Structure 1
Amino acid sequence: MTTALITNDDGIDSPGLHRLARMAIESGLDVVIAGPSEQSSGSSASILGANADGRVPYSRHELEGFDIPVFAVDAAPALISLIAAHGAFGFVPDIVFSGVNRGANVGHAILHSGTVGAALTAGVNGARGLAVSLDVGMDPDACLWDAAAPHVSHLVPLLLAQQPGTVFNLNVPNVDTKTELREGPLAAFGIVQTLTAVGGDDDVRLEVSDTPADQEEGSDAALLRAGYATVTNITGVREASVAVLAN
């Protein structure tokens, strides 16, 4: 049976993580959950968490309604994905699901996402990855986690048909009606921009604001803003095609 690790950056107790695990189980996968013991949003592909002696503490965790192994790990999600690739939880996953994140991860801002970082780390280490995010906006009334379910169900067989190392980034509107899935390239920014403003002599204030409505036509951010679910096939770090030294 195809094995799957479920992780996230919102923490082990996030309902988005639990719902994504259920989606993976419903897709017929053999599932293990290993999430950060604490909130780890914005951790990118950080491998913070190992102690000075190289140990990564984790503990068994109980989740109501799940009869599968569940671990709370004192580590960023990318480190969880990395140690899973080396058999830390008793198996090596064929696919790593990361999410469902509370907030969109689109555009080149995904560089900073712990959700996406875990999926990309899976890809670098020979597994397939699926990052899943829910576009809840700045102040949601409710998080409709199940909005991602039909798209996850649709994408899992497509992802498993791809070569190991393939990573999909899925973003879904926070609505209770089924949405159409569109494929789009990464926008120049993301659904949220972070602006810096110099404060006093000893601090810098970070301000978060919505991006302009005129996103690049057809980009993942523009499609998501228009009400579509979006998917993008993404890759991790690779060398550029332009040489540094002249021949």
Structure 2
Amino acid sequence: MTSSAPPAHRLGRVLLTNDDGINAPGLALLAELVAGVAEEVWVVAPEKDQSGMSRAVTLTTPLRVEERGERRYALTGTPSDCAIFGLRHLLKDNPPDIVLSGINRGANVGDEVPYSGTVAAALTARLLGVPAIAFSQSFARGGQVRWDTARAVFARSLDYALDLRVAANAVLNVNFPDVDAVDVGDVVLTRQSRGTLDRIDVEPRADMRGGTYYWMAFRRHMPILGPDTDAGALKHGLVSVTPLGFDMTAPEGIA
């Protein structure tokens, strides 16, 4: 298994979360990688997959939490719920130095970033005053997820992210390319791209009793983009680091 040198940075108390759920392999890998560089690691993650939940918070039903091990909790809520629960209840009196979200199964780039629960958890943490970074491992649909790539490049990606002087209201969105670890290029600063989502379809299916149910189907493509964009960097085998904020104003609308 390919590995890398540990990060140059040491971390204090760290809160981990994700949107793929408490049992996701990406979260297990993140916990393993962070354990060697942090003084204390806490995990609050959804009890089940909450992909695509964006910044949703649970307002009309109660939340329940189950302890799954030392400093490890599964919550019946969204990724943003997990960040809020961790920061405003579980660690209210001893807040973490940073929140790390991921490692997501699949890239979070381009037009799909606003749907991402992985990114949303980081944004929620930042909204509550704690620095945050989201991590995602790109992969081709139907293919194997290259967790070894994430393992190999995590340390230098984390160091790069922690060395950046980002605005106080920004988070960093880190995406690892879908290439073998030995083929990964540099870690680069990128901007969010456009045009990666063609459309969203509703696909009807029939169950065993003849009833109808539906799947939401995202239709994607990766346009030809330069390595200064998140999707373009992944196409070039680079690790993409994109600063994201809360301002969704369209400048052309103001103009």
TM range (shorter): 0.7 to 0.9
Which residue of 213, 219, 222 corresponds with 1:209? 219
Count of matched residue pairs = 233
CA distance in 2, matches of 1:204, 1:155: 42
Name structure 1 gaps, 5 residues minimum: 63-67
TM-score by length of 1: 0.81
Is residue 70 from structure 1 mapped to residue 72 from structure 2 by the alignment? yes
Deviations 1:128-147 (A, max 9, x none): 11000000121223432414
User: What is the deviation of 1:4?
Assistant: 1.3
Determine the C-alpha separation between the residues in 2 that align with 1:213 and 1:242.
23
Match in the other structure for 1:101: 104
Aligned to 2:3: none
CA distance in 2, matches of 1:4, 1:231: 20
> 1:171-219: CA deviations, max 9, x gaps?
00132224311111100134x544336879x987643333143236631
Offset of residue 30 of structure 1: 2.2
* Percentage of pairs with the same residue: 24
CA distance in 2, matches of 1:121, 1:189: 26
Could you tell me how far apart the structure 1 residues matched to 2:250 and 2:228 are? 24
In the alignment, is the contact (CA less than 8 A) between 1:127 and 1:164 conserved in 2? Answer: no
Which amino acid counterpart does residue 60 of structure 1 have in structure 2?
E
> 2:114 matched to which residue of 1?
111
The Cα offsets for residues 215-246 of structure 1, whole Å up to 9 and x where unpaired, read as 366311111111111001111246667998xx
Alignment pair present for 1:23 and 2:28:
no
Match of 1:79 in 2: 81
CA drift at 1:85: 2.3
- TM-score w.r.t. the length of structure 2 is 0.79
Structure 1 residues 194 and 243, CA, compared in 2 at 3 Å: closer, same or farther?
closer
For 2:77 and 2:153, the matched residues in 1 are separated by 26
User: What is the Cα deviation at residue 101 of structure 1?
Assistant: 0.3
Q: Does the aligned pair in 1 maintain the 2:226–2:233 contact within 8 Å? A: no
Residue pairs, 1:1-247, within 5 angstroms:
2-48=12-58, 52=61, 55-62=62-69, 68-89=70-91, 91-144=94-147, 145-155=150-160, 157-158=162-163, 162=166, 164-174=168-178, 175-177=180-182, 178-190=184-196, 193-196=198-201, 206-215=216-225, 218-237=228-247
Mean CA deviation greater in 93-102 or 203-212: 203-212
| Backbone CA RMSD of aligned residues | 2.9
Is the CA contact 1:122–1:165 (under 8 Å) kept in the aligned structure 2? no
1:38 aligns to what SS in structure 2?
coil
Map Cα deviations across residues 72-123 of structure 1 (whole Å, 9 max, x no partner). Answer: 1111111111222213246322211110000000113200000000001111
CA distance in 2, matches of 1:240, 1:87: 35
In the alignment, the residues of structure 2 paired with residue 37 and residue 199 of structure 1 have an alpha-carbon distance, to the nearest angstrom, of: 27
Distance in 2, Cα, partners of 1:203 & 1:142: 28
Tell me how far apart the structure 2 counterparts of residues 106 and 243 of structure 1 sit (CA, whole Å): 23
**Cα distance change on mapping 1:29 and 1:237 into 2, 3 Å:** farther
